[in-house]
């Protein structure tokens, strides 16, 4: 992640994941109302297209994308065996984070149809561990660095812990729409702040501009501005969550069948039955 691309790629993926959840939550709410049952949420959602709804597309994409991320980190760290030893321990740390999200994708695939012999909500447990691992790795980035770098990564630790918190809360309170939206909000906040961190630490431009950007005057200016910028991210993402919710709710309510609103009916029925008959 020690580059602009290294920050932007995982940041963009987290934003897309959160928006995917935000798109499905109004659909799930309307589906539960039409089914005559209380609202519940799941960690993964089916693709609302015929032929794909029975495939764990979300889990498959997690596995593939994290595998690519791990391969890139290995290449950056070892040069595929060109170097005699690991040159960048941070790349290995980042690979460890990718491995947790890859494992989360595997659990998503296994538990997708809710017929697995594994304990329910195990996918939540692994996802919580993934965000905790991410926060732990970011904590190692807040020692022995410039103040600006420390501040940026401290805020990433905060957002990572909030993601773990709300994913864990959703595992316990799966019928709470507010908790589901707080989970999506925390993930999109971490994604946008990861993007912002990349642009602050590695501003695009010629190489000489990068080296000049690390002078003390620039660091001090950014250090004073970063807390305000983070609050803008908080406010902007809150507006984004509300806008996506309102738009998706109206579209699904008016054109539910065309948007595939009934696609996950089987999943809803199975999951609802399990949550009311199995207390484990």
248-277, pLDDT tens digit by residue? 888 877 765 444 444 455 455 545 544 544
Query: Residue 280 domain-assigned?
Result: no
Query: Residue 154 domain-assigned?
Result: yes
Please tell me the distance from the alpha carbon of residue 97 to that of residue 69, in angstroms, as a whole number.
Answer: 10
Nearest Cα neighbor of 141 from 155, 153, 156, 130 is 153
Q: How many domains does the chain have?
A: 1
Query: Residue 109 domain-assigned?
Result: yes
14-51, pLDDT tens digit by residue? 999 999 999 889 888 887 777 777 788 888 888 877 77
In total, the chain counts a number of residues equal to 280
Which residues fall within 8 angstroms of residue 113, CB to CB, at 6 or more apart?
54, 267, 270
Query: Residue 277 domain-assigned?
Result: no
Which regions in the chain score pLDDT beneath 70? 1-2, 76-88, 113-116, 205-219, 255-280
Query: Residue 169 domain-assigned?
Result: yes
Query: Residue 78 domain-assigned?
Result: yes
> If DSSP codes are grouped into helix, strand and coil, which group holds residue 3?
coil
Query: Residue 13 domain-assigned?
Result: yes
Range of the domain at 98: 4-271
Query: Residue 43 domain-assigned?
Result: yes
Please tell me the distance from the alpha carbon of residue 30 to that of residue 13, in angstroms, as a whole number.
Answer: 27
pTM score: 0.84
Q: Quote the Cα angle for 168-164-46, to 5°.
A: 70
5-15, pLDDT tens digit by residue? 778 889 999 99
């Amino acid at each position: 992640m020690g580059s602009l691309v290294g920050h932007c790629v995982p940041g963009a993926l987290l934003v897309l994941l959160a928006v995917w959840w935000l798109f499905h939550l109004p659909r799930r709410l309307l589906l539960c109302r039409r089914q005559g049952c209380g609202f519940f949420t799941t960690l993964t959602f089916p693709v609302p297209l015929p032929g794909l709804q029975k495939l764990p597309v979300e889990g498959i994409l997690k596995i593939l994308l994290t595998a690519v991320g791990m391969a890139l980190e290995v290449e950056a760290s070892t040069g595929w065996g060109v170097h005699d030893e690991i040159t960048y321990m941070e790349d290995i740390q980042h690979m460890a984070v990718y491995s947790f999200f890859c494992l989360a994708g595997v659990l998503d695939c296994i538990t997708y149809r809710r017929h697995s012999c594994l304990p329910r909500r195990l996918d939540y447990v692994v996802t919580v561990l993934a965000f905790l691992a991410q926060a732990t790795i970011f904590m190692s980035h807040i020692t022995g660095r410039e103040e600006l770098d420390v501040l940026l990564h401290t805020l990433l630790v905060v957002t990572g812990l909030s993601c773990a918190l709300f994913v864990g809360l959703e595992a316990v309170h799966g019928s709470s729409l507010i908790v589901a939206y707080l989970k999506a909000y925390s993930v999109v906040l971490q994604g946008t702040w990861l993007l912002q961190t990349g642009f602050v630490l590695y501003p695009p431009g010629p190489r000489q501009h990068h080296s000049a950007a690390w002078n003390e005057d620039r660091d001090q200016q950014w250090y004073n501005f970063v807390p305000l910028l983070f609050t803008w991210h908080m406010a902007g993402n809150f507006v984004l969550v509300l806008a996506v919710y309102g738009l998706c709710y109206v579209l699904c309510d008016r054109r539910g069948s065309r948007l595939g609103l009934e696609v996950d009916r089987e999943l809803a029925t199975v999951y609802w039955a399990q949550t009311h008959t199995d207390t484990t």
